Amino acid sequence: MFYTLKEKHPIPFFLSACRRLEGKGKKENDSIERIGKMADSAYLSKIAGPVVEATSIRGSQINELVRVGSDQLMGEIVALKEDRATIQVYEDTSGLRPGEKVERTEQPLSVELGPGLLSGIFDGIQRPLDRIKEMAGDYIPRGIDVPALNRKKKWTFKASVKKGDSVKAGDVLGTVKEFDFEHRILVPYGFEGAVSDVRDGEFTVTQSIASVGKKDVTMMQKWGVRTPRKSKEKLRIDRPLITGKRIVDTFFPIAKGGVAAIPGPFGSGKTVTQQDLAKYADADLIVYVGCGERGNEMTDVLFEFPKLLDPKNKKPLMNRTVLIANTSNMPVAAREASIYTGITIAEYYRDMGYDVALMADSTSRWAEAMREISGRMEEMPGEEGYPAYLAKRLAEFYERAGRVRCLGTKDRFGSVSVIGAVSPPGGDISEPVSQSTLRVTKVFWALDADLSRRRHYPAIHWLKSYSLYLDDLEKWYLENVASDFYQIRGQCMALLQKEAELQNIVQLIGPDALPDKERLVLEVTKMIREDFLQQNSFEEIDVYSSLKKQHLMLKTILKFYDKAEQALKMDVTLDRVLLAKERQVIAGLKRLKDEETVKAANGAMKSLETSFGKGEKK
């Protein structure tokens, strides 16, 4: 539905009122200007779905938060032209009428940061869904205003500074225990000076816990979501975010502070992969943004996440997770807000010196929202109707990932790693969202519908995926895992590529036409695929492999290959080579615990070395 002031209200009531007030001969624009001044608030002149236009708004800025209509819906100014503001509204706009009031807040769209975020489930504009449910039931009433952080709950604050200490932004003032997590309360940005008052005790998030440079500090801070939080320095990428997923850690690693894209056609294992990453990645905290996915998928997340246990301590995973849930039946504009809310919360924990992993599922839905809003704003469309600034927006979001030296006197390091799911229609990644995402992300885990149909999980395709962090991480892997890690990885990758070439030939002339040497390659790559790359998320041991185990598994497979090749040269038949008992051991390694893997793998390698192929003749 598209209303304009002209169509629906040829002489809007406030204009006619204005004319009466101002006398004859005044121009229409002039009148609007005056009524604006009188009422000091603007009025709705046009409503187009989630995009509305307000007239006679003055002194405001792009990205200012406004309250729209009598229900006080949350909106954000996205364009300004003279006294007309275009506003994207984060709540359902049906029923709004031209002439309703628009109030300025003189603040950007902001999030509340402080104790109480962990284990929280928020919507795109950081309203706590559980507390809304308590207040209003299953449906979110429009314009409901519930603060993100509970104002009544008291937290035990333990000061780490004392009166007289000199502090600056980013220094740790004290800590609060939230579950098992040490929530560090930092001197907010813009504060500096001597601590004139600080005490241990029980405080709510809005009570003063200290006084710095004569200004009161509370545990809660507010931060505009579109402004990246400050840090001293962005650091070079140099260590992996270990996930325990063999194909990820060994073949396509993501770095701490890195960015990865994961395109997920339906049923390809996107949800399982992301839950595994949330559970097992060596991040201290997880921020999960469910951005406009189909309602039932988000419901799955909302039901599933609270049930998941942290494998490290068997306590609820939610104790170190913040969920932002924004389903497709929520207004489209809120999708964008949810992405920015999520990344700002992630940066907040990064600033405390933690490693945070943010998962956004799915950035395609956000891009679709941008397309819709841009269309409503009658902007010039770019490729496939997406706005021309699509790539820039996506890049700005992913650029907020990184490993940083945090603000503050003492050195502290933190990181935000971002894993963005993309859902290209029909799995075709030539479309603009996938392409713009690929340009800014450095890791691409290509979930493949064909592999998932064959129940090869995780369905990340080894020939279609890549990681551009390999060079940055090489030193770390060689020093911390094994000096031949990259060599083994390279050898296996080369074999997998060779397999693809051989498969083409096999399709034409059948496997029997290949010489034994090449049939052996196919057998070995089958071992790499089935015994290494396939990893069952529902098996307790298999779901997570340490890097040492990953290395040993591949090393044993390559040992078999080496010895089998030698045996073939000594005229042993391939069929006999394939009967080797060591192959059984290799196939079983994934189900063994670390210590058992070492024993079994070393045993297999030893017997391959000493006895394999001996005495066998064609």
Binding site for ligand ADP (CB under 6 A): 264, 266-272, 457-458, 535-538
| Residue with the shortest CB distance to ligand ADP | 269
Q: What is the CA radius of gyration of the chain?
A: 29
Considering the complex, state which of residue 13 and residue 266 has its C-beta at the smaller distance from ligand ADP: 266
Considering the complex, state which of residue 139 and residue 538 has its C-beta at the smaller distance from ligand ADP: 538
Question: Shortest distance, CB of residue 271 to ligand ADP, whole angstroms?
Answer: 3
Please give, one letter per residue, the 3-state secondary structure of 69-114: CCCCEEEEEEEEECCEEEEEECCCCCCCCCCCEEEEEEEECEEEEC
CB 580 within 8 A of CB 589: no
The DSSP-derived string for 198-247 is E--EEE-TTSEEEEETTEEEES-EEEETTSPPP-SEEPPP-SB---S-HI
Considering the complex, state which of residue 274 and residue 436 has its C-beta at the smaller distance from ligand ADP: 274
Considering the complex, state which of residue 157 and residue 544 has its C-beta at the smaller distance from ligand ADP: 544
Distance CA 451, CA 580 (A): 28
The DSSP-derived string for 25-80 is T--HHHHHHHHHHHHTSEEEEEEETTEEEEES--S--TTEEEEETTTTEEEEEEEE
Question: Shortest distance, CB of residue 191 to ligand ADP, whole angstroms?
Answer: 44
Question: Shortest distance, CB of residue 543 to ligand ADP, whole angstroms?
Answer: 8
Contacts of 37 (CB under 8 A, 6+ apart): 58
Question: Shortest distance, CB of residue 35 to ligand ADP, whole angstroms?
Answer: 52
Is the Cα torsion angle 574, 575, 581, 587 positive or negative in sign?
positive
In one-letter notation, the amino acid at residue 280 is: Y
Distance CA 563, CA 586 (A): 14
Question: Shortest distance, CB of residue 550 to ligand ADP, whole angstroms?
Answer: 15
How crowded is residue 497: how many other Cβ atoms within 10 Å of its Cβ? Answer: 13
Question: Shortest distance, CB of residue 534 to ligand ADP, whole angstroms?
Answer: 8
Question: Shortest distance, CB of residue 548 to ligand ADP, whole angstroms?
Answer: 21
Considering the complex, state which of residue 218 and residue 271 has its C-beta at the smaller distance from ligand ADP: 271
Question: Shortest distance, CB of residue 312 to ligand ADP, whole angstroms?
Answer: 20
Q: Which two tokens stand for residue 394?
A: 């996506």
The number of helices, as runs of H, and strands, as runs of E, in the chain is 19, 27
Considering the complex, state which of residue 78 and residue 419 has its C-beta at the smaller distance from ligand ADP: 419
In one-letter notation, the amino acid at residue 402 is: G
Considering the complex, state which of residue 325 and residue 558 has its C-beta at the smaller distance from ligand ADP: 325
Question: Shortest distance, CB of residue 272 to ligand ADP, whole angstroms?
Answer: 4
Distance CA 187, CA 169 (A): 5
Considering the complex, state which of residue 413 and residue 444 has its C-beta at the smaller distance from ligand ADP: 444
CB 244 within 8 A of CB 545: yes
How crowded is residue 255: how many other Cβ atoms within 10 Å of its Cβ? Answer: 27
Considering the complex, state which of residue 63 and residue 271 has its C-beta at the smaller distance from ligand ADP: 271
Backbone angles phi, psi at 77, to 5 degrees: -75, 125
Considering the complex, state which of residue 535 and residue 556 has its C-beta at the smaller distance from ligand ADP: 535
